[in-house]
Amino acid sequence: MQMALDLARRALGRTSPNPMVGAVLVKDGQVIGRGYHARAGTPHAEIHALNEAGEQAVGATLYVTLEPCCHRGRTGPCTEAILDAGVKRVVAAMTDPNPLVAGRGLERLRQAGVEVTVGVMEEEARKLNEVFVKYITTRSPFVVLKAAMSLDGKIATRTGESRWITGPRARLAVHRLRDRYDAILVGVNTVLKDNPSLTTRIPGENGKDPVRVIVDSLARTPPDARVITQQSPAPTIVAVTERAPKENLCRLEEAGAQILVVPGPGPRVDLEVLMKELARREITSVLVEGGGEIHASFLGSRLVDKVIWFIAPLIIGGRQVPGPVGGDGPARLLEAVRLKDISFTRYGEDFCVEGYVDGGGED
């Protein structure tokens, strides 16, 4: 099963809206077939493993990180291919949370006489596919909030200088996050202040650009902003309210942006509705990269599943210097956002804290 999980991980960031799945066929103590799902619309992991094993699959045991599908989507049902191949036993790490499957695949195999075991390394399999589990069960994206700050909690100097607070290794880690998740989201103030590209740049690798999402109530994003004019296979979506001036929308559309009008009563873009709209476009994960007011809004709305926080060994100081989270903040510590399942990683001189929002995330 560990081998199957390692195989599945090879497609990190490439299978959306599908899960990452790995499969290993074993017979007489020998591995006779391996496979993983490379991207949506291509054969599933089980099919690759069965094809590699060929006729040897008769009487073999299949280890797979997710319950085999029993319905026809972009590809045929894996359960029928497993039965046709004569596999004797199937060991699955977890059942498929997809309501179209949800145990039916394993039951189909059992009814056909295949020995079925489920739950082997289930925790590891669930964490591997935490994005898919959230998306398929709630029809809302898995939301990761990423921030970087100095040791004393500053994101810039008093003159606004912010490049670069973290070092090159930490910045490379951020680009790997962009390569992993479907979309990257910032507020319009970040665009106006920093004019970022929001692309993936990994030296020596062909990184995947995420869909760029700009939260911009009144469509103030300049049509010549880099986030819109740059060459990228991924689109830029500008999320606006119904109050956005039509002339601004026309200019942005002419420049190549996609306009998403988010319904809602308030003066700001309703983030919960926006997440549902993105999910309808099969965007399963969103990396939120600022600024402080956007961070505060996402945290205050309890939309964040996971936090990735970089800390640089710098002390900047300044009474009026902003931090990574704006807003009014809670009145009591009991109302503060708390994290669980914390992990720490060092990138050069910088540290990274990762954790899941208590009461949400990977449960």
Q: What confidence tens digit (pLDDT) does each residue in 326-352 have?
A: 888 888 998 889 999 999 999 999 999
Residue-range definition of the domain harbouring residue 52: 1-131
Strand order in the sheet with 30-36: 30-36, 22-27, 61-64, 89-92, 115-118
Between 160 and 19, the more confident residue is: 19
Query: Residue 297 annotated as binding?
Result: yes
Nearest to 63 by CA among 74, 73, 72, 53: 53
Q: Which of 112, 131, 150 is the last residue of a domain?
A: 131
The predicted structure's pLDDT at residue 61:
97
149: CATH: 3.40.430.10
Amino acid identity, position 119:
G
Regarding whether 351 and 234 lie in a shared domain, the answer is yes
Is position 180 within any domain?
yes
Please indicate whether residue 318 or residue 67 has the higher confidence score (pLDDT): 67
Q: Taking the alpha carbons of 119, 124, 129, 133 in that order, is the dihedral positive or negative?
A: positive
5 lies in the same domain as 88: yes
- What mean pLDDT, rounded, does the chain reach? 93
Residue that terminates a domain, selected from 108, 131, 154: 131
In this structure, are 100 and 163 located in the same domain? no
295 is in an annotated binding site: yes
Shared domain for 155 and 21, answered yes or no, is: no
Task: Kindly state the DSSP code that residue 57 receives in the 8-state scheme.
Answer: G
Residues with catalytic function: 46
293 labelled ligand-binding: yes
Q: How many domains does the chain have?
A: 2
Q: Is position 192 annotated in a ligand binding site?
A: no
How does DSSP classify residue 56?
G
- Is 53 marked within a binding site? no
Query: What is the spatial distance between Cα 218 and Cα 267, in angstroms, rounded to a whole number?
Result: 9
pLDDT tens for residues 35-78? 999 998 899 999 999 999 999 999 999 999 999 988 766 677 89
Question: DSSP strand E in 179-241: where?
Answer: 183-187, 211-215, 236-240
Q: Is residue 43 part of a domain?
A: yes
The answer to whether 198 is annotated as binding is: yes
Measure the CA–CA gap between 176 and 322, rounded to whole angstroms. Answer: 26
- 194 is annotated as contributing to ligand binding: yes
Do 78 and 112 touch, CB atoms closer than 8 A?
no
Is 358's pLDDT higher than 60? yes
Give me the helices (H) in the chain, please.
2-9, 45-53, 78-85, 104-111, 122-128, 130-138, 168-180, 188-194, 226-229, 246-254, 271-280, 292-300
pLDDT per residue over 154-192, tens digit each?
988 888 777 789 999 999 999 999 999 999 999 999 999
Taking only the tens place, the pLDDT of each residue in 202-226 is: 988 888 999 999 999 999 999 999 9
> Quick one: average pLDDT of 139-153?
95
- Is 362 a residue whose pLDDT tops 70? no
pLDDT over 50 at 361, yes or no: no
User: Has residue 345 been placed in a domain?
Assistant: yes
Residues 203 and 346 in one domain: yes
294 marked ligand binding residue: yes
Count of residues in the chain: 363
Phi, psi of 155 (to 5 degrees): -115, 0
Q: Residue 55: give its domain's CATH number.
A: 3.40.140.10
| Alpha-carbon gap, residue 263 to 126, rounded angstroms | 34
Q: What percent of the chain has pLDDT over 70?
A: 98
Asked if the structure places residue 363 within a domain, the reply is: no
202 is in an annotated binding site: no
pLDDT of residue 74: 67
Pairing outcome for strands 306-312 and 258-261: unpaired
Identify whether residues 122 and 148 lie together within a single domain: no
